Amino acid sequence: MSGHNRWAGIKHKKAATDAKKGKVFTKIIREIVVAAKEGGAQIEHNARLRKAIEAAKEANMPQDNIKKAVQRGNGEIPGAVYEEMVYEGYGPAGVALIVEITTDNKNRTASDIRKIFSSHRGNLGETGCVGWMFDRKGYITVNKSTAVEETVMNIALEAGVEDFKSETDSDVYEIITSLADLDKVKNTLKEKNIEVASAEISMIPQTQIALTGDDASCMLKLMNELEEHDDVKNVYANFDISGEDMEKLDV
């Protein structure tokens, strides 16, 4: 999990910076549109839409933008038609990657993603080639600077989490839950005045590939370029880079 939490930390810091520039709005709007289309516009009956709107508010998206995205999703106003796809493939040193896509032009997106992989010593594979290496779980992080480990761990375990991790070279505590328990655990932490840094559905790797040197640098560049693509919703990978090596790399 250490590779996962280190990239997650980078991703959330970047998201905070990008949010100030409005760069995350495109991805959030697409998620709202798709969520409203699939589950309806009533957030009390649509958990996916509720989470997307929460993300929009955290990014300080104007309420009017949120409203229009919901309306586009449920067909009240016209807009692009989005498709969701999943690409699987390999990065440097055989690292497994899963890339979740939301696009209005799958041919364009497929070409872009293939080029990004090949530019960083990777290649796309067949559907299912790496998916079996990951488990879909709830994933929560709490910044170590905001809470005492024993307190967070006790609250998490009492809430029925599947795992709790505190890597020595990580800035966060990691909490792994079942999908069904994600919101319950997040809300329990908040009720106990524990500030939650992130709470999301994630693909947790069963095993990891340790990377150093050029492999590590190339892998992070691949992750970064994938994350920055407008059509990419999520990227999951099973690499591990030590905290010491991570500090040396320009990410």
Which amino acid, residue 194? I
Evaluate whether 233 touches 34 at the Cβ level (below 8 Å).
Answer: no
Residues 95 and 130: their CA atoms lie apart, in Å, by 9
Q: For the whole model, what pTM was predicted?
A: 0.85
Burial (0-12, 13-18, 19+ Cβ within 10 Å), 75: exposed
Instruction: Find how far residue 113's CA is from the centre of its chain.
Output: 17
Closest CA to 160 of 137, 174, 181, 138: 181
How far is CA 52 from each of CA 41, 55, 56, 87, 226, rounded to the nearest angstrom?
12, 5, 6, 22, 20
pLDDT of residue 243: 73
Q: Determine the length of the chain.
A: 251
Per-residue pLDDT of the chain (251 residues; tens, 9 = 90+): 444 555 665 665 555 555 555 668 888 999 999 999 999 988 889 989 998 998 899 888 999 999 999 999 988 898 888 999 999 999 999 999 999 999 999 999 999 999 999 999 999 999 999 999 999 999 999 999 999 999 999 999 999 999 998 887 778 899 999 999 998 999 999 999 999 988 888 999 999 999 999 999 999 999 989 988 989 999 999 998 877 777 777 55
Q: How far apart are CA 140 and CA 199, in angstroms?
A: 4
Q: What DSSP letter does each residue of the chain carry, written as one string?
A: -HHHHHHHHHHHHHHHHHHHHTTTHHHHHHHHHHHHHHH-S-GGG-HHHHHHHHHHHHTT--HHHHHHHHHHHTTSS--PPPEEEEEEEE-GGG-EEEEEEEES-HHHHHHHHHHHHHHTT-EE--TTTTGGGEEEEEEEEEEGGGS-HHHHHHHHHHTT-SEEE--TT-SEEEEEE-TTTHHHHHHHHHHTTPPPSEEEEEEEESS-EE--HHHHHHHHHHHHHHHHSTTEEEEEE-EE--HHHHHHS--
Q: Which residue has the tokens 């099973």?
A: 238
* The amino acid at 96: A
